[in-house]
Structure 1
Amino acid sequence: MHKIYLLILTFVLGFTVVNAQPLVRVTGKILGPKADVLQQVTVSVLGQQESTLTDANGDYTIYSKTTSFTLKYNLLGYKPVIIKVNEKAAGRIVRDLILVPNINELEQVTVTNKQNQLSNTSIINIADLQSLPSVSGNFEAILKTLPGVSTNNELSSQYSVRGGNFDENLTYVNDVEISRPILIRNGQQEGLSFINSDLVTRAKFSAGGFEARYGDKLSSVLDVKYDRPDSNQIILTTGFLGTSLTSKYVTEKSFFLAGFRYKNNSSVLNKQDNKGSYSPNFGDAQILYQHNFSDKFSLSALGNLNIGEFKLIPEDRETQFGTVSTQLRLNIAYNGKEIDTYRTAGGAVTATFSPQPN
């Protein structure tokens, strides 16, 4: 009885092994249209897990488990070829092939560049501003990453270009020159800059050699645009240093932008050497309305209100200095308080006429 079972098991296993053996062996050579040898051509049997590549001479060998199958030849830059094979019995066959290049001819393409090649201007990537760590939270923080721009206080939006003074930098918003207010101090007493980052759609910066239409200051020019939004939006951003609310409304011929910001960096100021009671409160409101009467003529109005109040009741200051062997410490006690208040308002109406529509 055991011999019968062993005989049946041997018969089944033998049939499985024989049935798994490939029935058809396919060889051939792949050439190009100029009889050049094509290497790394993928040859595969569709519906089976069989594939191979041509060697340095363009030769290949592949096996099929059935007598009727489909071969596919594929190489990047050449048209793929599919060949159906129907053999009556197992054996060896030869299939040579010539692949034709796949030429995709494009229609005429015109490439234009609106950037003035004679202008020494850098385009600022607005998307980088969202991921840029900044204590001040002002738009000018991204300028400090550009070559030739330096600053001496991370709490300030003021910057120096190529060794120039901090008041030699021009700022334009929608072709309107922005006058920087004269502050008593820069840094911790300084609030929000004019530019609202949530309203900016594009900006460019020049560290010298800019066009004459920007004026005669020698250091730099920052040109910012508040453009038409793609859709109606309401953006709310809040954090430990402040809150920002932005609204964008667009119609067929006009659009309206409004931005409100509040800043309180007392959590940063309390970590300074000067210990005391800090109460910095800064806020601003900014609006822009533009109406396009036609493709050639448009009228826009820009308004801004900036209010800042800084209060400080200092207590003491501790400064450590000296060498490794001799360490000294200086303690200073204060009496009195500091109160700085700023209120800045401005507006502009701009009419734009373009003989040729943009």
Structure 2
Amino acid sequence: MKCLKNFLTISFFCFFGISFAQTATITGVVFNENNEPLANVNITAPTNGTSTDANGYYNLQIVSDTQSSLTFSHLGHEKIILENLILNNNETFEFNPVMKTDAVQIDGVVVTPEGNKSVEGITNISPQLVRQIPGANAGIENILKLLPGVSSNNELSTQYAVRGGNYDENLVYVNEIEVYRPFLIRSGQQEGLGFVNSNMVQDLAFSSGGFQAKYGDKLSSVLDITYKNPNSFGLQIGASLLGANATLETMDKNKKFSSITGLRYRNNGLLVNSQQTKSNFNPIFVDAQNFMTYRFSTKFHLNFLGNISLNQYQIEPLTRQTNFGTFNDPKALLVFYQGRENNKFSTTLGALKGNYYLNEHTTLKLISSIYHTTEEEYSDIIAQYELGAVNTDLGSEDLGEVTSSRGVGSQFTRARNDLDALIFNISHKGIHSKENKTLEWGVKYTHEDIRDQLRESEFIDSAGFSIRPPNPNFINNQPDEPFDAPIVPYEGVQSQNFIKTNRLSGYFQYGRHTLWEEHNIYYNIGVRSQHWTVSGENVTKTSHTVFSPRGQFSIKPNWGKDMLFRFSMGMYHQPPFYRELRDINGIIQPSVKAQKSIHLVLGNEYSFLLWDRPFKLISEVYYKKLNNVNPYTLEDVRIRYTANNNAKAYVHGAEMRLNGAFVPGTESWVSLGFLKTEENIDHRGYISRPTDQRLKFGVLFQDYVPNIPNLKMYLNLVYNTGLPGGSPSYADPYIFQSRLRDYRRADLGISHIFVNEKDTYPENHWLYRFKELSIGAEIFNLFNNQNSITNTWVRDVESKQQFAIPNFMTTRVLNLKLNMRF
């Protein structure tokens, strides 16, 4: 077979490939009926085999993209047969069997290119895939943005919106520990690092709606990350023009203690300096994470997760020129800057998790965490702008330059914002599973102590006079009557808040796998509840309580075709966090209620073989009805709420994703999504919400050179229709309903692997010490598309019109990278 290298960037890929001996890994611990590890268990696969060590641990490589059967055998125990196993290239699948002495245990598992067939509506993504795919902000979020229901028009940000929700509506867990983001970040270029370290990830699960009661109280999505428990020593080092990272894995000889530590440094200068605003940029983005496990016995394991992060963002903007308008009437905005911005976000997290395995059916967990963040946002920026006509003479040396001025003005923005937040959590979780029945429960207490001081102001000067805010306090009829009001900022916030919130939440759910005639049935029903109290200085103590029933149902018919149908429904509440309690004037509104959403999700998974390789087609339709909506505006990545519940909204959409081995030994997918979301504020009628992303098309594609299989190519393509463009300050959003231009982006990565698990070298070779070694190049924004995320609103003094000036994102950028593992 020949590998066809041409591909269509928008519609589809069609090609053939040469099959090489690609591998996957199955690993785990084998237990006996007393939940004790079994040594010397023989494990055989069609082409090879292994046995467990003294601690019951095993690690076996099998051929990927091919059906395999594994047999576990041990003297005095009945065999365990794991059938119909199909793993993707480089995928790691964990299987921990319990060997019995009284019966034969047959366990049939079908693993598609992305993991177990999901009866729960959870998307599983290979961590290896996450680490390979290029992106300006490579990592977990980079892959999520290629899923049909996930959108982000900002390649500098790790934040994402899911099915019409905003950035605050997504849950993130690491080993069942909830993690948080800084509060004051307002621009994507201020985000150096997301919390999740991709090099430490073992499993990744994501749900974009209709999730179970055991997950928390958010409206949109759940990202559930599991960090590794290493089984040997390993050191990984990576470097690129955007930063560097190192990951250390250790395990003691008794296999009781394991640890994984990650260090990261990032500098976004390469990306920020490609934007239209020229600046002196001096960032420091660093973090250190550690995840440790100590196995006191087979029954009790203790985990620790620690994180220290420092994002220090300094920028001195210099100039900016943005050309806009039409072909017949081109315009340009030319800006000269003075001043600088200096922001600092310092966060720490410490968490302990105890796992007690009462018996083979019951596990009890106790989790405690404390999160602390201190944030400073200091800036003094003077912007003097000129709005004018543009030279369109193709033969002129000044093509594209401003030829005549239509208006000048200046803007002075100042910020002195400080925030100190402490969040403490303690929770208990339990799970009892027996005979295909699962009972899960949990209770959690959270204390939030937030101290915030906002001091923001914006002065606008035009034609020699300072513009006052357009509100009734400043209406005048000069010169008939004298007007002596003080000079005030056009927009300003002065507030100081000391807020404490106590939350008590819990959940209970029951799930079961069973047979209905010859069809496999799965269902899960559950309920969660939360009671919270808001108090603080000059704040009336207020309490609220919500209940959220949820349910999921799946059926796998006994058909010739491998299909699964899912239906989920439930009520989802989002009790207000600190930012949702703070209105646009910075004042806390403790009476804000929880936003409420009813989810209805209908899905189908169809697994099939094409070209003798596994593929899966996932389709979903969904509807969300929202009440008690807290309207907001979106400025880059900063969300500003009105802090009331004066709106209702809806979201509906449809998605599909075709996933599989388009090229043997690789994983690729094509995704397509459509959604519509609108809100009705104060019964004025429905208008588009800020996240009304109508059409989404994403492609993730991997390939390699047939004669040089270690020379690999990775490509991701994203096309999103334009988001609503927002409105000027103090303007009525019902008047401004224009949209930004469509978002189009392609990132290409090419790497050559010198050393990996299959390609090793003898002792006398200089590459012998490497377990992995690769070098590569990445081209971000391959086609150099001009994408905008927001508008800057500028008033023309001649026509009195306000022009929406697009704020363009990064241009084409080349990055080089090196990865090593010892």
Aligned counterparts of 1:227 and 1:130: Cα–Cα separation in 2? 14
CA deviations on 1:72-102 (whole Å, 9 max, x unpaired) are xxxxxxxxxxxxxxxxxxxxxxxxxxxxxxx
Q: Does 1:140 align with 2:141?
A: yes
**Residues 289 and 302 of structure 1 are in contact (CA less than 8 Å); yes or no, is this contact kept in structure 2?**
yes
Aligned counterparts of 2:241 and 2:175: Cα–Cα separation in 1? 31
Aligned counterpart, 1:315: 318
CA deviations on 1:290-336 (whole Å, 9 max, x unpaired) are 11112221001110000011111111110101222332222111111
* 3-state SS of paired residue (1:120): coil
Aligned counterpart, 2:339: 336
Q: Between 290-299 and 261-270, report the one with greater CA deviation.
A: 290-299
Point out where structure 1 has 5 or more consecutive residues left out of the alignment.
1-105
CA deviations on 1:236-270 (whole Å, 9 max, x unpaired) are 00000000011000121120111100000101111
Match among 271, 292, 296 for residue 293 of structure 1:
296
* 3-state SS of paired residue (1:142): helix
Aligned counterpart, 1:182: 183
Aligned counterparts of 1:194 and 1:314: Cα–Cα separation in 2? 28
Residue type matched to 2:107 in 1?
A: V
Aligned counterpart, 1:84: none
TM-score normalized by the length of structure 2: 0.30
Aligned counterparts of 1:138 and 1:335: Cα–Cα separation in 2? 35
Match among 349, 370, 392 for residue 346 of structure 1:
349
Aligned counterpart, 1:235: 236
Aligned counterparts of 1:117 and 1:287: Cα–Cα separation in 2? 30
Aligned counterpart, 2:212: 211
* 3-state SS of paired residue (2:302): strand
Aligned counterpart, 1:262: 265
Aligned counterpart, 2:4: none
**Residues 296 and 357 of structure 1 are in contact (CA less than 8 Å); yes or no, is this contact kept in structure 2?**
no
Aligned counterparts of 2:187 and 2:129: Cα–Cα separation in 1? 25
Aligned counterpart, 1:170: 171
Aligned counterparts of 2:352 and 2:173: Cα–Cα separation in 1? 14
TM-superposed CA distance for 1:120, in Å, is 1.3
Distance 1:352 1:134, change over 3 A: same
Residue type matched to 2:295 in 1?
A: N
Aligned counterparts of 1:350 and 1:113: Cα–Cα separation in 2? 30
Point out where structure 2 has 5 or more consecutive residues left out of the alignment.
1-70, 72-78, 84-105, 111-115, 362-822
Q: Does 1:111 align with 2:114?
A: no
* 3-state SS of paired residue (1:129): helix
Aligned counterparts of 1:270 and 1:126: Cα–Cα separation in 2? 30
Residue type matched to 2:298 in 1?
A: D
**Residues 269 and 281 of structure 2 are in contact (CA less than 8 Å); yes or no, is this contact kept in structure 1?**
yes
**Residues 301 and 349 of structure 1 are in contact (CA less than 8 Å); yes or no, is this contact kept in structure 2?**
yes
Aligned counterpart, 1:155: 156
* 3-state SS of paired residue (2:229): coil
* 3-state SS of paired residue (1:141): helix
TM-superposed CA distance for 1:152, in Å, is 2.3
Aligned counterparts of 1:269 and 1:116: Cα–Cα separation in 2? 41
Which of the two has higher C-alpha Rg?
Answer: 1
Aligned counterpart, 1:271: 274
Aligned counterparts of 1:226 and 1:341: Cα–Cα separation in 2? 28
The structure with more strand, counted as a fraction of residues: 2
TM-superposed CA distance for 1:182, in Å, is 1.0
Residue type matched to 1:313 in 2?
A: E
Aligned length: 253
Aligned counterparts of 2:147 and 2:256: Cα–Cα separation in 1? 37
Aligned counterparts of 1:206 and 1:342: Cα–Cα separation in 2? 29
Aligned counterparts of 2:266 and 2:122: Cα–Cα separation in 1? 31
CA deviations on 1:124-172 (whole Å, 9 max, x unpaired) are 1112123311112342111111120001211100000000011110011
TM-superposed CA distance for 1:227, in Å, is 2.4
Aligned counterparts of 1:185 and 1:322: Cα–Cα separation in 2? 27
* 3-state SS of paired residue (2:271): helix
* 3-state SS of paired residue (2:129): helix
Aligned counterpart, 1:244: 245
Aligned counterparts of 1:163 and 1:194: Cα–Cα separation in 2? 23
Identical-residue share of aligned pairs (%): 41
Aligned counterparts of 1:295 and 1:353: Cα–Cα separation in 2? 9
Aligned counterpart, 2:199: 198
Aligned counterparts of 1:325 and 1:117: Cα–Cα separation in 2? 54
**Residues 301 and 348 of structure 1 are in contact (CA less than 8 Å); yes or no, is this contact kept in structure 2?**
yes
TM-superposed CA distance for 1:357, in Å, is 4.7
TM-superposed CA distance for 1:116, in Å, is 8.2
Residue type matched to 1:324 in 2?
A: F
Aligned counterparts of 2:354 and 2:117: Cα–Cα separation in 1? 24
Aligned counterparts of 1:139 and 1:279: Cα–Cα separation in 2? 25
**Residues 138 and 192 of structure 1 are in contact (CA less than 8 Å); yes or no, is this contact kept in structure 2?**
no
TM-score normalized by the length of structure 1: 0.67
**Residues 294 and 303 of structure 2 are in contact (CA less than 8 Å); yes or no, is this contact kept in structure 1?**
yes
